[in-house]
């Protein structure tokens, strides 16, 4: 990447203050943030945001880039179930190669870049004696670094104790450079295996000084309660902020008495949670008649308890989820609906579920539009978070370390009625005028 210019973003809105602002960027970092109207050195290159909303970049805290772009290869999942997805993936996994994994991961990463995502945590299957996908993804991590910070979770898809040499493969993945320790206790053969697998994962995390991200209780079984073991181990080790419980869909089915006791432990532990609304809502409840459970973890209750929770995709265009373009606003839109977070302020603040909350899960310490931080931000053509979510706006500009890395030209729709022609905007107030920004 070439050196970032000395430049100024003008006529921009910020989520935490009223009015229009200007943001100075110098040497790839945020400078002063001042109200519009204050004089500036003419040496600045100017981007006119036209009243758009500037927020930190979107973060994808949970995706499987080793399976992405495989929907329909060689066969489609016709039932849409988890179990047929596993069958279809077994067919596709037989065709896996180093270059295949890289090409597919890169394609989805490009989609994510276009959609304003600059931080991605991907789970990579290490239940493979050759560790083909992991080795490929480690190369992708280096290649994509100028545009996306990629974290790799060593994910034992078929278990640590239930797969031959599972523990050794997990440790080898960490030695090769995986950033995060994974586990899948509810998929182990027995409950005892599940608990022991978590002890192994925590031991390896402390040995190699890595955070943990556990596929935890992704099942409708109300007796699947491995999250309590995750939280207890995190509390005992004093590493709660470095531990994430992903999915926890069984929590949707826990009884109130148990959940009340559990939440005390969760809050004490300080662990993070990732819900994956698009996938959780369609894979869970498949064994129910009616009424059918939604099968997503207790997002609203976790938030009310002050526990960090964020949203991820889980899958994009693969045997388990045949849709998706890497657009985090689609994830948020579904999550707000299924978690009944549809009050005005809940919607307006919803962007935190795919930005600030995700940054805590990701372990970022210099994230946000603050003087001195790396100049990473996106500009949405909306006046606030509510309008951005309601209109599902594109990312107008994505800026990383002071350089534009993605630009979307805004579409214009015209309608013709007996009242004549009219340029249509779905915004409540006047449409935001388009503008040409600096070249990427």
What are the residue numbers of the active site? Answer: 218
CB contact at 8 A, 276 and 297: no
**Is residue 15 classed as helix, strand or coil in its secondary structure?**
coil
Q: Are strands 149-155 and 117-125 parallel, antiparallel or unpaired?
A: parallel
H helical segments located in 270-376: 277-283, 299-304, 328-338, 344-348, 356-362
In the DSSP assignment, the letter for residue 292 is P
Q: Indicate the angle between helix axes 226-237 and 191-208, nearest 10 degrees.
A: 30
Residue 309 has phi, psi (to 5 degrees) of -145, 140
Distance CA 225, CA 185 (A): 10
Distance CA 23, CA 370 (A): 10
Residue 358 has phi, psi (to 5 degrees) of -65, -35
In the DSSP assignment, the letter for residue 177 is T
Closest to 55 measured CA to CA, from 398, 325, 402? 398
In the DSSP assignment, the letter for residue 353 is G
Please enumerate in sequence order all residues whose Cβ is within 8 A of that of 326, keeping only pairs 6 or more positions apart, or say none. 60, 108, 111, 112, 114, 115, 117, 313, 316
The position carrying tokens 């190699």 is 208
Closest to 236 measured CA to CA, from 194, 206, 272? 206
Distance CA 341, CA 347 (A): 7
For 425, the token pair is: 């905007």
Closest to 363 measured CA to CA, from 42, 61, 27? 61
CB contact at 8 A, 259 and 288: no
For 249, the token pair is: 């869909």
């Amino acid at each position: 990447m070439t050196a970032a210019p000395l430049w100024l973003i003008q006529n921009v809105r910020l989520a935490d203050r009223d009015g229009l602002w200007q943001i100075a960027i110098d040497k790839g970092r945020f400078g002063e943030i001042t109200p519009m109207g204050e004089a500036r050195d003419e040496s600045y290159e100017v981007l006119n945001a036209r009243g758009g909303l500037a927020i930190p970049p979107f973060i994808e805290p949970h995706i499987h880039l080793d399976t992405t772009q495989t929907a329909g290869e060689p066969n489609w999942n016709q039932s849409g179930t988890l179990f047929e997805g596993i069958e279809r993936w077994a067919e596709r996994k037989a065709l896996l190669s180093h270059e295949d994994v890289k090409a597919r991961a890169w394609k989805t990463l490009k989609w994510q870049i276009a959609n304003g995502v600059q931080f991605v945590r991907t789970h990579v299957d290490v239940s493979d004696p050759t560790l083909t996908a992991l080795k490929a993804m480690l190369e992708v991590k280096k290649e994509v670094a100028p545009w996306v910070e990629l974290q790799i979770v060593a994910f034992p898809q078929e278990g640590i104790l239930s797969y031959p040499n599972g523990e050794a493969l997990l440790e080898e993945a960490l030695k090769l450079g995986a950033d995060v320790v994974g586990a899948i206790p509810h998929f182990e053969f027995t409950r005892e295996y599940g608990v022991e697998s978590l002890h192994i994962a925590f031991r390896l995390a402390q040995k190699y000084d890595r955070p943990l991200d556990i596929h935890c209780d992704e099942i409708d079984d109300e007796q699947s309660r491995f999250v309590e073991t995750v939280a207890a181990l995190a509390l005992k080790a004093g590493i709660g902020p470095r531990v994430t419980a992903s999915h926890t869909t069984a929590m949707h089915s826990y009884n109130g008495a148990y959940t009340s006791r559990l939440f005390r432990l969760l809050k004490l532990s300080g662990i993070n949670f990732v819900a994956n609304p698009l996938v959780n809502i369609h894979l869970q409840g498949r064994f129910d008649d009616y009424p059918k459970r939604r099968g997503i973890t207790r997002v609203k209750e976790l938030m009310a308890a002050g526990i960090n929770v964020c949203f991820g995709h889980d899958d994009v265009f693969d045997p388990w989820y045949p849709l998706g373009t890497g657009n985090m606003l689609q994830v948020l839109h579904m999550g707000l609906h299924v978690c009944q977070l549809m009050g005005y302020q809940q919607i307006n603040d919803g962007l935190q579920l795919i930005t600030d909350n995700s940054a805590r899960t990701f372990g970022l310490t210099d994230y946000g539009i603050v003087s001195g931080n790396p100049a990473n931000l996106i500009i949405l053509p909306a006046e606030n978070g509510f309008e951005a979510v309601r209109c599902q706006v594109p990312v107008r500009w994505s800026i990383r370390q002071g350089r534009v890395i993605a630009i979307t030209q805004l579409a214009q729709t015209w309608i013709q009625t007996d009242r004549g022609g009219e340029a249509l905007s779905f915004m409540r107030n006047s449409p935001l005028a388009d503008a040409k920004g600096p070249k990427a």
